[in-house]
Amino acid sequence: MMGKRQRFLAALGAYLVGGMVFGVLVGCAVGGAPEPSPTATTPPPTPTPERWVLEWEDDFSQDIRESNNWLFDKGASGWGNREWQYYTDRPENARVEDGVLILEARNEEYSAWSYTSARIKTQYMHAWTYGRVEARIKLPPGGKGIWPAFWMLGEDIATKGWPECGEIDIMENIGNPREVYGTVHGPGYSGAGGIDGRFVSDVSLAEDFHIYAIEWTPDDIRWYVDETQYHQVFREHVPGEWVFDHPFFILLNVAVGGEWPGYPDETTPFPQQMLVDYVRVYRDTTLTLPSP
């Protein structure tokens, strides 16, 4: 049995432990958790800016004839490729419906030509040097002789001529809706000697919209379909002068016939429509460019 001394010591221990617990509980209730000792604080990290910042876009919310973004090329001269279409500015060939640009090639008699279509450009209105240039496009169903394109020409074409002005073909299709091409043309590597890459899709690119883009820097140009890069050209690898350090303007068109795609025949369906949801140009924030 426990003696008086042992009982006294046990009671004293219980009293002391209980007091400590009570003190902790009261301290938490009144003052909360104790403040940590002051330490040197680390400043929050500086947010990394997005590399690509939107600089210009056309989402086709109004008719292209009423916007300040596009001009029409008109006429029929073969356009340097022995093409068969007459380009017009008629709504039958170029119009906006429900926020989508429609460029339509038609088999019809017009001004002594058997085909009409449309070709629009930002020349004299907008031009850019470097950046990401993209468009969300649904290709026409295709067939022999159908040649839709999303491309760029050097702004100095009027004074230097082609190919010294440079040409960047962001997307070209020559009738097979599963294939598109990306190409550059310059002095010493133009026409059939252009430096090209080909993207082959598992599905028809005429079934839905896809994003066709380039990312263009002073050192290289890269081509994309949606998120897939399929081609790259480096400054030091072109077999002639690199002519891609000055402003370029954008073109969109659907050609009919030409030396590269061949010519339509009885198997080629018409009309053929290329649908464009938007065109966007992004500035590259990693580049520091001199003031114009």
CATH number for the region 52-262+271-284 comes to 2.60.120.200
Q: What is the pLDDT of residue 288?
A: 84
Q: What is the pLDDT of residue 47?
A: 61
> 79-83, 178-182, 244-248, 269-273: which range is least confident on average?
79-83
What percent of the chain lies above the pLDDT cut of 70? 82
Query: How far is it, in rounded angstroms, from Cα 107 to Cα 81?
Result: 19
Cβ atoms < 10 Å from Cβ of 220: 15
Catalytic residue among 83, 104, 155, 167: 167
With a CB cutoff of 8 Å and minimum separation 6, the contacts of 72 are 87, 88, 89, 94, 118, 119, 120, 121
Q: What is the pLDDT of residue 239?
A: 97
Tell me which H or E stretch contains 230: strand 228-234
Q: Which one is predicted more confidently, 19 or 66?
A: 66
**Over the stretch 146-200, which tens digit does the pLDDT of each residue have?**
999 999 999 999 999 999 999 999 999 999 999 999 999 999 999 999 999 999 9
Preceding omega of 247 cis (within 30 degrees of 0)? no
> 29-33, 48-52, 195-199: which range is least confident on average?
29-33
> 23-37, 196-210, 235-249: which range is least confident on average?
23-37
Query: How far is it, in rounded angstroms, from Cα 15 to Cα 25?
Result: 15
Side-chain-side CA neighbours of residue 234 (13 Å): 2
Q: What are phi and psi of 237, to 5 degrees?
A: -105, -5
Is 179 an active-site residue? no
Quote the mean pLDDT of the chain.
Answer: 88
Give residue limits of the domains in the chain: 52-262+271-284
With a CB cutoff of 8 Å and minimum separation 6, the contacts of 70 are 58, 64, 120, 121, 122, 125
Catalytic residue among 108, 172, 179, 227: 172
Pairing of strands 146-154, 248-256: antiparallel
Is 227 an active-site residue? no
For residue 244, what pLDDT band results from cuts at 50, 70 and 90? very high
Q: Are 118 and 94 in contact (CB under 8 A)?
A: yes
For residue 235, what pLDDT band results from cuts at 50, 70 and 90? very high
